[in-house]
Structure 1
Amino acid sequence: MAQRVCIIGAGVVGLATAYALVREGFDVTLVEARERGGLETSYANGGQLSYRYVAPLADSGVPAQALGWLLRNDAPLRLRPRLDPAPWRGLLGFLADCRGSLNRRNAAHLLRLALLSQRTLQDWREEDGLDGFDWRRNGKLVAFRQPASFARARQGLADPSAQFVLTAAECLALEPALSAAPFVGGIHTPDEEVADCHAFCVQLAERLQASGHCRQLHGRRVTKIVEGGAAVRGVEVGGDLIEADHVVLAAGYRSAELMLPGLRLPLYPLKGYSLTLPVGAQHRAPDTSITDYDRKIVYARIGERLRIAA
């Protein structure tokens, strides 16, 4: 008899987890609070598949930068003061992680995970014919406005054999759309990719539906994880028990609300913004994916659209 897995959350993480488990012979129940999957963080994110750019957000240079951001109206990161202690605990934990040694260790762990993700997606595309989400390999250029941040990036390349340091002139030659921007240099990774995350979610959901081994429950909210002895029995949804041998939490920051007693997930959400514009041959939109490092803005050409996110 196949093992039963209940996955809470049908964003890209929940759907990809369900797809991987169904491929391995598990029976999956996917529970999503929204009317369908992929409507929140997975809906219109930056679209860059940045496997080798794995520098944690808690970079060693961030604390000094953050002090300057407090005085800027156009700061890339802003914290609104409030009495809730959760964001302050999160901020203190974030600052504690802004250490060079810890940063390098975390980057190494993230690189291994990212390269596994790249191989997995390649396998699904080649073996299963998974398509229809505007995937392409267009490379990525991380461009720097400040010499100090550029210097740190040059010293901390995650994969020097696949990443290349470019001068400002070389950045412009690679991507002419950068002509009006005052960048001092960049890091180019030719093997990086781009895709439409929401379309990917739609494709996964359709494949799961056709598999006969995944029940997808939309518009249903899990209220708690049900224990039985030393193991989980399943999850409670609207007073009903959905039995499962294993439970996977993939509900983003809301996962912390469902943790069992004695377990803690130190998650706190960040709000992002994105803009999607149609582009054609007459527009000077970048073809290479661009990350404006110092302003924390990404640009990705997804099919015939330009996604700008921050």
Structure 2
Amino acid sequence: MIAAPFHEGEQAVQRLVGMQARMAEIGPRVIRDHMPEQHQRFFEQLPMLLAGMADAQGRPWASVLVGPPGFIQAPDAQQLHVGALPLPGDPMAGHLQPGAEIGLLGIEPQTRRRNRANGQVTAVEAGGFGVAITQSVGNCPQYIQRREPMMKAADGPAAAPARSLSMLDAAAQALVSRADTLFIASRAPATGDRPAGGADVSHRGGPPGFVKIEDAHTLLLPDYSGNQMFMTLGNLMVDPRAGLLFIDFDSGDLLTLTGRAELVWDGPDVAALDRAQRAVRFQLQAGWWLPRALPLQWRRIS
């Protein structure tokens, strides 16, 4: 249990929506400084792990790490060892170093389970890295689209070199326009006054096309009713930078973006998004397109 699990940004959002008192009661019961046994075993069975980190300029990026089930190991309740490194072309690769803040999200689309485990990188080796866990919390299954993983055929098309993006080109816009899933990285620097801070990565899902493309540099993300902890929005209150990751679950193409986020609380832009309670407007600053980089395919299941 963490006695004061929410930093001032999270508390500010909770206060705005009238949930601060309720979250002050619930938070210490569900946000821990260690992983319960079921979370440890959950991470160990996954073939994919999402990560959020900041680069040297403090810009968050969301990344995906993959390996056969068992590539993640939990030697105890406060440590994870990830037996994989960022994929070629992933901007996280150059910033994975001891002491770096990192947010981790384990997600199992076929069962719609997901758990967060945030902390600091302890060591980086030739085939992976370790993480000391400082915050662990389970998340509800809402908005997770059910899929089951399959390794790509060995004779399938190989990954192609990554290319940088300064705007959303036709391929990027096509992926966003059909996406039903994204991952968002954010951060709130941990300080003496903000012990609950750190890096984070979270899931967002909805019907295909739930993210609105406003122009070649701007996306509007609906924010639906959730667990009311507001970890992502709370981070954006104190640091408006964010990273987005879109995955083409058929081809393995990855679109990773970083930029600035503006919270949109109400008005016509929110009203135009079905079921949204608020929205996040994302302004692209830099990005990468990684063709066929993910060595997994996913089959949608009902």
Could you state the TM-score of these two structures normalised by the residue count of structure 2? 0.25
Q: Which has the higher strand share?
A: 2
Q: Which has the higher helix share?
A: 1
Could you state the TM-score of these two structures normalised by the residue count of structure 1? 0.25
For the pair shown, the structure with the greater C-alpha radius of gyration is: 1
